[in-house]
Amino acid sequence: MDTEYVDFEAETKDYVPYVPVHKRNHERLEQLNLASRSTRTGRGDQGHSDDSDGDADPHGRKRAASPQEGPRAKVSLLDSALKAHRTTHQNPTDGGIGPSSSMVPGADPSALDEEAAILKAVSHRKQLASDRELAKGIVYTEPMTTTWRPPAFIRNQPPSYFDDIRKKHHILVEGENREKNIERPSPIQLQGLPVALAGRDMIGIAFTGSGKTLAFSLPLIMLALEEESKMPLQRGEGPIGMILCPSRELAKQTYEGLCAMSEILHKAGYPLLRSLLCIGGINMNEQAHTLSQGIHMISATPGRLKDMLEKKKINLELCKYFCLDEADRMVDMGFEDDYREIVSYFNHQRQTVLFSATMPKKIQEFASTALVQPIIVNVGRAGAASLDVIQEVEYVKPEQRIMYLLHCLQKTAPPVLIFAENKNDVDDIHEYLLMMNVNAAATHGGKTQEERESAVKGFRDGRIDVLVATDVASKGLDFTGIRHVINFDMPKEIEDYVHRIGRTGRSGRSGVATTFINMESSQQILLDLKHLLKEAKQTIPRFLQELHDPNEQYLRLNPGAASAGCSFCGGLGHRIGDCPKLEQQRRAQTSNMRARMGNERGGEY
């Protein structure tokens, strides 16, 4: 019987001994101390020799220098760690563990290549079109045409005339081609109305409170009025156009605006235009009379509109106009499949317009896949805050925020709008304000439709002084006369912050926005807030100024860079590799994939 011999030396030649975690942490701390110590020594050696490491006593012996690190140092651990962190970022050495120049975006081309790869992967999404059109290969190459023409004196103006107007109002255009006391059109209306009236697909971007609703509602009114004048609608016909909104409150506000303009036209002798509100939480039988006569316009949320189309209560045979309000939310936050299902009911080309206050470049490019030769009208930077809002940021501990609200409510006269991220926080704030005899109401997604409508209507009519709400009230809702918006907490995305503070400072009026931040706020959102305040020339608190900003180093290494922000969400305080919005999207896709796999296996296990 042969005996097998094992060469233990060969087996153990490449063996790496296991190092316990506490020992690795200790070595890591030693490397950090060595890096900071070597940096100080390098600066101190410029005017001293090697023999001056410590002070000498009278007998010539050297005394050890007082320790700069560790428990015997007269420096707190927090200050020591902060100093070491700054040292490793500003003066990295080969022996330290801080990021080297190759790890900073812009210092190494590989970092930019990595970001480009992320952008390419993000852009590879399913085209924003219906499955029927994709399956049949239907591609519309020419934009829609309408009978509208600008007045003759406008058509006869030279191109320089329009260029001067766009330059005056800071309007960027890309593409081939008295009841409400409105005395003159706003910049987005000045350029957006002619584009939409001409039948062109467009993406409209402007700051909150700039009149975007009128820019997409008036073209729908004019189109419906023209169709009704040519041939009145009969039972079961319509709509001529639709406006899709992300929330019920915004859809109802848009519906009320359409009805108001229709009534004014009807009193002036024009045909009556009928509008339909299509949202969840209401009984559609109450609008059966409107449906029976034929409808010209629909203001809807995606869920109820899909239900109406599936039940064949309405059809889109005559629909020529399709608008998405707050389009970046509709496209980016889970409404893609709903949109594709809705447009699958179209059997012909339609005019599509997208409007929002925040729409990053990559979302614009993705949304443009649903448009035909779109024209992009951009008033200011996409995602910029309104300059009419004074932004105040205060550091308030979480347990002190509710009591501090009473102090903030005294800054301005009512009405005041308070935003909170969670429904429970909204209810707690509402209960506390009622205990303090403050005339307040609350609204969020957990309340019934009647409760939500009652709170919003009472606040809009002036019967309620303070409205406490989640972000459901921050998207597009227009409340007259709001002077103060309070953010009880910082939202997870900077876009939500822009929408929140945009409820004040509307239509040229000024307003105040107070935001509470604390240690619970993520550093990325705080950096985004810091850059947003800097862009709007607002006062930046000291605790925000002291935040380490990697983008400052990026701009220093790349002086010609146009922007150091995220090219995915538009935030100015982080890069795409650290984008919380992209991470949230990836998690949602992963959970959806797991859910589908579970269903294929017959359920979860």
| pLDDT tens digits, one per residue of 176-202 | 554 555 567 888 888 889 999 999 999
What is the residue-wise DSSP string for 257-315? HHHHHHHHHHHTTPPPPPEEEE-TTS-GGGGHHHHHH--SEEEE-HHHHHHHHHTTSS-
Give bridge partners of residue 105 from the DSSP assignment.
108
What was the pLDDT predicted at 433?
Answer: 94
Where do we find the tokens 């599936």? Answer: 310
Give the C-alpha separation, 44 to 46, whole Å. 5
pLDDT digits (tens, 9 = 90+) for 467-502: 999 887 666 577 778 889 999 999 888 888 888 888
Instruction: Categorize the per-residue pLDDT at 107 as very low, low, confident or very high, splitting at 50, 70 and 90.
Output: very low
pLDDT surpassing 70 at residue 589:
no
Strand bridging mode 375-379 / 171-174:
antiparallel
- Mean pLDDT over each residue of the chain, to the nearest integer: 76
Both tokens assigned to 417: 């709008």
> pLDDT value at position 138?
77
Q: Render pLDDT for 309-339 as a digit per residue (tens, 0 to 9).
A: 998 889 999 999 999 988 777 766 667 778 8
Residue 574's pLDDT is what? 67
SS3 321: strand
Map out the domains of the chain as residue ranges: 19-39+75-97, 131-137+158-379, 387-521, 522-605
Task: Evaluate whether 381 touches 563 at the Cβ level (below 8 Å).
Answer: no
Query: Phi, psi at residue 347, to the nearest 5°?
Result: -110, 10
Rounded distance between C-alpha atoms, residue 63 and residue 130, angstroms: 80
* CA atoms lying within 13 Å on the CB side of residue 452: 20
Q: What is the mean pLDDT of residues 31-53?
A: 56
| Alpha carbon distance 431, 466 (integer Å) | 12
pLDDT in tens, 224-272: 999 999 989 888 888 999 999 988 888 998 999 999 999 999 998 999 9
Q: What CATH fold (topology level) applies to the domain 387-521?
A: Rossmann fold (3.40.50)
Report long-range pairs for 522-527 (Cβ below 8 Å, ≥24 apart): 522/492, 522/580, 523/547, 524/571, 524/573, 524/574, 524/578, 524/580, 525/490, 525/491, 525/492, 525/493, 525/494, 525/497, 525/573, 525/580, 526/490, 526/573, 527/551, 527/572, 527/573, 527/574
> How large a percentage of the chain has pLDDT more than 70?
67
pLDDT digits (tens, 9 = 90+) for 279-293: 888 887 777 777 888
Report for 76-80, 418-422, 544-548: range of highest mean pLDDT: 418-422
User: Confidence class of residue 161 from pLDDT cuts 50, 70 and 90?
Assistant: confident
131-137+158-379 belongs to which CATH class?
Answer: alpha beta
pLDDT in tens, 519-578: 888 888 888 888 888 888 888 888 888 887 766 655 555 544 445 566 566 666 666 666
Query: What gap in Å lies between CA 277 and CA 207, rounded to an integer?
Result: 26
The CA angle 79-82-83, to the nearest 5 degrees, is 85
Give the per-residue pLDDT at 266. Answer: 92
Please state the pTM of the whole predicted model: 0.64
* 3-class DSSP string for 63-96: ECCCCCCCCCCCCCHHHHHHHHHHHHHHCCCCCC
